[in-house]
Structure 1
């Protein structure tokens, strides 16, 4: 497979290097999630299906285990590979290989990587899966949950510069990626290519500012949408003159999408402020414009941290404006297809806000215990970030509490 070729090409070289040239490390998270909602179930992002509706305790949603190997090939070359288990029901090389890239770094101020790298969308891209690296029991879902893509199969170039006490980091990257999207009754694949992105970070000792922008092209309709398009094409043009335009806007095939984010981390005294704001937009009407963000304050004391976070995701889903007129002529034939269209408009359309309170205690230098309580308020039809059994167009408004307990560690 082309997407994995660069990452896997050097795997046999493991056996040919001495132990001094290989560095192994790992990380993990054992987590328990409890919710008092009978309607919605937590998931870390929309690629994760959660069928745990009969038991309020979930031991899988935020649990993970990762291992990383850094192999020195030459003074200027190294190879990095990382595997992460995040509760995948079916374990494959493709869905566990998080990193697998060759890095060329001939000078301290620039590097080139090729293979499977992180898709650099967020301030916390480099360690979003390493729970020990941040205070919360999980990253804010409102920002991190809507896009299922974590890795990029391609290449990136990073330039570093230090000047007048400021550290600059500029990156450009390109490639392709693929991920599943968990719907109510099936997991479907959505591939993206022509990925082109830039990332800029500016930092000093006590603060970091990031600005990132990525554009992609969605390759395919998810399977349910392909069936919907086929059904829409059967409606006579005389009844629906705007059919071709609607179908073209509705389809995900060859549609550009853009994701932008801005982030800030600032330390002063015992307080750490962390905030990110993001925007997703697409030329497909299925992917509505989504604005999301969070603001988090952490008080650091001795071996512990107290934190509060407010997060929000807001979208304006598309509507099937011609539905009433079409149903007037074909009331029985199109009812199901119209329901399916409106259901598709809700897949990428979250509307919710969350208040979080929590505490972290570093039991050892490499072990942290965390307890977090979320109060989530979801608008009617706005639970796209959650698992929900039934049609999203019928999903009710609800406020509920979710409790997270986790033990994060590194080794």
Structure 2
């Protein structure tokens, strides 16, 4: 039995003891039918790091910008409710575990406290609760520089939330703990492997009023991944079997230790907020990723967006960025390493691993949203992205010959979609 099935069974059994005969059962849903096209033959657009495809020049793609979701809510009593949400987003493996976004039971003994157990939204972002619900925001897609880097949607665990009105301001603090796994695609790979996060503990603080909101997040987690093990084993073997290997690849053993991801800690920190004027909304998020491993270097990202509201129309612009340090292997004797069996393969694998999260880019966006129906909206958005300092790993390459790939450049991407609620 999958973990998700076990969680659903657990919360269902817990709920059954409290359900009233007149329990309120509700069904709702959401979806987006979207198309994406770009003008680049070198950089293939993808919605986030879980996607294996890429949208290149002359492609017209519906998979990257489309999804369909359904949500079931059971109001069992004044204190207890049960939520299940399933989303189809072109998953490579389609099963119950990959489609269930939410599956939790919530106990709220009073207006100030709430406790949840099960599968909950992974509370890292300002738009955490509705990042897949296109109708809930003005843009045609959430900013990739923040939301594309971490594809993980949910957390299997528990959380507790405290709410307290303070004058005209409402303060909320959420403490959460759990684990999760989500597909993560290697640069240029046609398959996605599960990337697991254990012992995730975070604190999310939120202050909001009628006109503004400020949120602060600090999350600590432990990587459960053996992605670097083949490279580490290769370096250990070369050091043991190749004479004077330390002269060919200085500090290779220290390097092998530093790139290991397994059981290493990572930290996510973010500050975000929005302010609503009479006809304009300003939204911004800033985040930083850091870890104890060279395999996940520091990444700083953010965006600032302004949205002008006019009747049923929203006109928006945004500037987003993501910045990380490109890691270069230095001091290695490549001529000598070429004579070592699999030596160059190890070198290329090391560069690929070290720069997997090297995401250096800036995106300027212009767009329009039209709410032509109370439950439907049409969106059109043009992105211009400048990729520099080797930061092209978010984009899929056209081939797997990494030595000839372009690392810098410009991409224009056009997004058009219809989002709806039902």
Q: What TM-score, normalized by structure 2, do the two folds share?
A: 0.91
3-state SS of 1:403 partner: strand
Q: 1:239 aligns with which of 242, 245, 255?
A: 245
Q: 1:47 aligns with which of 44, 47, 50?
A: 50
Query: Structure 1 residues 227 and 146, CA, compared in 2 at 3 Å: closer, same or farther?
Result: same
Query: Structure 1 residues 329 and 232, CA, compared in 2 at 3 Å: closer, same or farther?
Result: same
Q: State the Cα deviation string for residues 201-248 of structure 1 (Å, max 9, x = none).
A: 0011100000001111001122xx332122111122652263332111
Query: Structure 1 residues 332 and 55, CA, compared in 2 at 3 Å: closer, same or farther?
Result: farther
1:200 equivalent to 2:205? Answer yes
Query: Structure 1 residues 68 and 320, CA, compared in 2 at 3 Å: closer, same or farther?
Result: same
- Judge conservation of contact 1:158–1:170 (CA < 8 Å) in 2: yes
Q: 1:383 aligns with which of 360, 376, 392?
A: 392
- Judge conservation of contact 2:359–2:393 (CA < 8 Å) in 1: yes
Which stretch shifts more, 180-189 or 287-296? Answer: 180-189
- Residue 11 of structure 1: how far off its partner (Å): 5.0
Corresponding residue for 2:324?
315
- Judge conservation of contact 1:177–1:191 (CA < 8 Å) in 2: yes
1:181 equivalent to 2:184? Answer yes
- Residue 46 of structure 1: how far off its partner (Å): 0.3
3-state SS of 1:404 partner: strand
Q: State the Cα deviation string for residues 341-380 of structure 1 (Å, max 9, x = none).
A: 0011121110111000000000111101000000111125
Q: Which blocks of at least 5 consecutive residues in structure 2 are unaligned?
A: none
Q: State the Cα deviation string for residues 105-129 of structure 1 (Å, max 9, x = none).
A: 0101110000000110011101111
Rounded to whole Å, the distance in 2 between the matches of 1:387 and 1:8 is: 39
- Residue 72 of structure 1: how far off its partner (Å): 2.0
Q: State the Cα deviation string for residues 30-56 of structure 1 (Å, max 9, x = none).
A: 000010111222211101111555851
Which stretch shifts more, 186-195 or 302-311? Answer: 186-195
Corresponding residue for 2:416?
405
1:220 equivalent to 2:225? Answer yes
- Judge conservation of contact 1:343–1:391 (CA < 8 Å) in 2: no
- Residue 307 of structure 1: how far off its partner (Å): 0.3
Which stretch shifts more, 210-219 or 44-53? Answer: 44-53
1:9 equivalent to 2:13? Answer no
Corresponding residue for 1:328?
336
**Structure 2 counterparts to residues 275-354 of structure 1, below 5 A:** 275-324=284-333, 328=336, 331-333=339-341, 334-354=343-363
- Residue 7 of structure 1: how far off its partner (Å): 2.9
**Structure 2 counterparts to residues 122-201 of structure 1, below 5 A:** 122-183=125-186, 184-185=188-189, 186-201=191-206
Rounded to whole Å, the distance in 2 between the matches of 1:202 and 1:392 is: 46
Rounded to whole Å, the distance in 1 between the matches of 2:226 and 2:323 is: 24
Query: Structure 1 residues 304 and 281, CA, compared in 2 at 3 Å: closer, same or farther?
Result: same
Corresponding residue for 1:273?
282
Rounded to whole Å, the distance in 2 between the matches of 1:67 and 1:168 is: 30
- What is the root-mean-square deviation of aligned Cα atoms in Å? 2.0
Corresponding residue for 1:252?
261
- Residue 322 of structure 1: how far off its partner (Å): 4.5
Q: State the Cα deviation string for residues 36-85 of structure 1 (Å, max 9, x = none).
A: 11122221110111155585100110100000011122331111000000
- Residue 17 of structure 1: how far off its partner (Å): 7.7
Rounded to whole Å, the distance in 2 between the matches of 1:11 and 1:384 is: 42
* Paired positions, count: 407
- Judge conservation of contact 2:3–2:97 (CA < 8 Å) in 1: no
Q: What TM-score, normalized by structure 1, do the two folds share?
A: 0.94
Rounded to whole Å, the distance in 1 between the matches of 2:2 and 2:267 is: 24
Which stretch shifts more, 136-145 or 185-194? Answer: 185-194
- Residue 321 of structure 1: how far off its partner (Å): 3.2
3-state SS of 2:98 partner: helix
